[in-house]
């Protein structure tokens, strides 16, 4: 009973810590809008600004996952959170574009918290409940929505410079709460006799790269859209920043909170079946979202007829809400694959897969901005995401079809 109580305490404190980390990781998605106006940035520069924290938060995931296996999640996550407090606070004093880029790299370390918390939390639960436990922890992704609720209010009250100051205090408080309510179990650590190269052996397994592709869609796409959607609402529909943030939260909130539901579904129906349907839902939604506002005329027997096709804010937000739910479920189901196939090396594998997802979240905002600068079509971001989902669906179909055939041959030979 005491062990179960510890497990729930670890899960609750880790989820809180991750939620705060993710809130701060997504900070530039909101404060980047007034910064863009002040510094007269183009769309590509804005994309790079929002993406910089995602870069370091992604690159650090592999070593953080391995250190978690080696030293334990409690000390690694606590030190990681403390290391970001000063850079977060210093953002409020930045004045040049390069200041924001450099500080963004340091703040981005907070994004690596996922690769620490995932194996740390999973090892406190039995295998048949790990999907749900990792889903609950992963619900900390809802920090992207928390940022959209808090930052616009602070900006309206005293300008964007207040946001980093408040967030620095939040990070320090969350780190202390995590340390007080979390626990350590040395039995969860990988034995010191296992070498660094042994932990990375799974990179030779093609399944790992397949999971990287899936996660770059469901997590990378989630991060990219979370950073981009506030500005999209402002420029496409003319909303003020506060209204735009609230509407964008309709995507970010279910995309984070419902990850626990995705973990339950993956435990119940299997990771493959759940991930397959997630990809199909995203494929349909991105096709609809990618269609730009269009005016055209056709010649009829009664003369020329003019037509206008566009997504109203209500329809657009509803489709984004569906995508958010699908991505939340998909993020959990992909990690169910990992807990099933790599139960003794979750930290290193989740670090590799998390790195791929995070790099997707880094590249996408930059590509979103570049495509708008080149084409002038704002919905081009959804066209890009539609293409990535197509790749995942084709890969899933042929890879799992081949595996099923090999299993059938093995059974027939036996």
Burial 59-82, CB ≥16 within 10 A → b, else e:
bbbbbbbbbbbbebbbebbbebbe
Chain segment 34-52, per-residue pLDDT in tens = 999 899 999 899 989 998 9
- Taking the CB of residue 314, how many other CB atoms lie within 10 A of it? 9
Residue pair 227/147 in contact by the 8 Å Cβ criterion: no
Query: Would you state the structure tokens that stand for residue 338, as one six-digit string?
Result: 């990992």
- The per-residue pLDDT for 92 is 93
Instruction: Please list the residues that pair with 309 across neighbouring strands.
Output: 294
- The alpha carbon of residue 296 and the mean position of all alpha carbons in its chain are separated, in whole angstroms, by 38
Look at residues 390, 380, 372 and name the one whose alpha carbon lies nearest to residue 42.
372
Look at residues 353, 321, 323, 322 and name the one whose alpha carbon lies nearest to residue 336.
353
The three-class DSSP label of residue 377 is coil
Q: Please name each of the domains of the chain with its CATH number.
A: 2-183+199-413 (1.20.1250.20)
Chain segment 130-189, per-residue pLDDT in tens = 777 877 887 788 888 888 889 899 998 888 999 999 999 999 999 999 999 888 777 666
- The per-residue pLDDT for 1 is 47
pTM to 2 decimals?
Answer: 0.79
Phi, psi (rounded to 5 degrees) for 300: -115, 175
- The per-residue pLDDT for 403 is 53
Angle, helices 28-39/241-257, rounded to nearest 10 degrees: 150
| Segments in the chain below pLDDT 70 | 1-3, 187-203, 343-348, 400-414
Residue pair 34/155 in contact by the 8 Å Cβ criterion: yes
């Amino acid at each position: 009973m005491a062990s179960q109580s510890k497990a729930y305490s670890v899960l609750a404190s880790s989820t809180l810590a991750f939620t705060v980390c993710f809130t701060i990781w997504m900070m530039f998605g909101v404060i980047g809008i007034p910064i863009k106006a002040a510094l007269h940035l183009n769309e590509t520069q804005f994309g790079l600004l929002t993406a910089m924290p995602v870069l370091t938060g992604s690159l650090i995931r592999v070593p953080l996952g391995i250190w978690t296996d080696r030293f334990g999640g409690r000390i690694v996550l606590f030190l990681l959170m403390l290391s970001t407090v000063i850079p977060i606070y210093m953002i409020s004093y930045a004045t040049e574009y390069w200041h924001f880029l450099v500080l963004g790299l340091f703040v981005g370390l907070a994004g690596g918290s996922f690769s620490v918390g995932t194996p740390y939390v999973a090892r406190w639960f039995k295998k048949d409940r790990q999907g749900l436990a990792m889903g609950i922890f992963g619900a900390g992704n809802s920090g992207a929505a928390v940022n959209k609720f808090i930052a616009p209010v602070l900006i309206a009250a005293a300008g964007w410079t207040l946001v980093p100051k408040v967030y620095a205090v939040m990070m320090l408080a969350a780190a202390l709460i995590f340390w007080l309510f979390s626990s350590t179990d040395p039995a969860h650590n990988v034995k010191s006799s296992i070498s660094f190269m042994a932990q990375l052996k799974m990179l030779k397994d093609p399944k790992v790269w397949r999971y990287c592709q899936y996660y770059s869609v469901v997590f990378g796409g989630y991060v990219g859209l979370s950073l981009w959607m506030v500005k999209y609402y402002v420029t496409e529909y003319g909303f003020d920043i506060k209204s735009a943030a609230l509407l964008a939260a309709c995507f970010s909130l279910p995309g984070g909170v419902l990850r626990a539901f995705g973990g339950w579904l993956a435990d119940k129906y299997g990771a493959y079946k759940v991930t397959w349907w997630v990809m199909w839902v995203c494929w349909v939604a991105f096709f609809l979202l990618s269609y730009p506002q269009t005016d055209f005329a056709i010649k009829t027997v009664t003369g020329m007829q003019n037509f206008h096709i566009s997504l109203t804010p209500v329809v657009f937000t509803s489709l984004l809400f569906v995508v958010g739910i699908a991505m939340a479920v998909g993020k959990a189901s992909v990690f169910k694959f990992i807990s099933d196939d790599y139960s003794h090396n979750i930290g290193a594998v989740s670090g590799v897969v998390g790195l791929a997802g995070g790099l997707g979240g880094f590249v996408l905002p930059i590509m979103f901005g570049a495509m708008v600068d080149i084409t002038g079509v704002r919905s081009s971001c959804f066209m890009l995401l539609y293409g990535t989902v197509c790749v995942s669906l084709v890969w899933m179909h042929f890879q799992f079809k081949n595996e099923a055939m090999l299993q059938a041959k093995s059974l027939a030979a036996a």
